[in-house]
Amino acid sequence: MKITKRQLRRLIIESLNEDPSRPWGSYAEKGESSFSDVIVMSPNGDSVLVDGMETYIQDVPSQLQYASGVEMSDIDADNLIFALEDQQASGYVELGVEYKNGKWSW
């Protein structure tokens, strides 16, 4: 069977988009001791995307912990939720989040 470059590209693109549990845009980057993601408003506008998963703002810290495998302190979680709620009140959310050198930052 012969396949063209165009057909191969189409097959690759289709296979990348097959996971229905991860339907949206970009995903987080995870290293051995690091993690980064850009949290953006979901297409629906009532939640945000964390590692490509639609998540309500109050659930973002737990979704980050799940995606990264790294626990977040209650103080960091509260501060992150506050920062996201502040952006959501302005009409759009886009916040880079990173775990590096043992600390969460945004």
Cα gap 12→92, rounded to integer Å: 32
Q: What is the mean pLDDT of residues 63-87?
A: 95
pLDDT at 88 (0 to 100): 93
- pLDDT for 41 equals 92
The pLDDT tens digits for 40-70 are: 998 888 899 998 889 999 999 999 999 999 9
DSSP characters for 30-48?
A: E-SS-EEEEEEE-TTSSSE
Domain ranges of the chain: 24-105
Cα distances from 104 to residues 3, 24, 73, 96, in angstroms, run 46, 24, 9, 11
Range of 31-35, 37-41, 78-82 with top mean pLDDT: 78-82
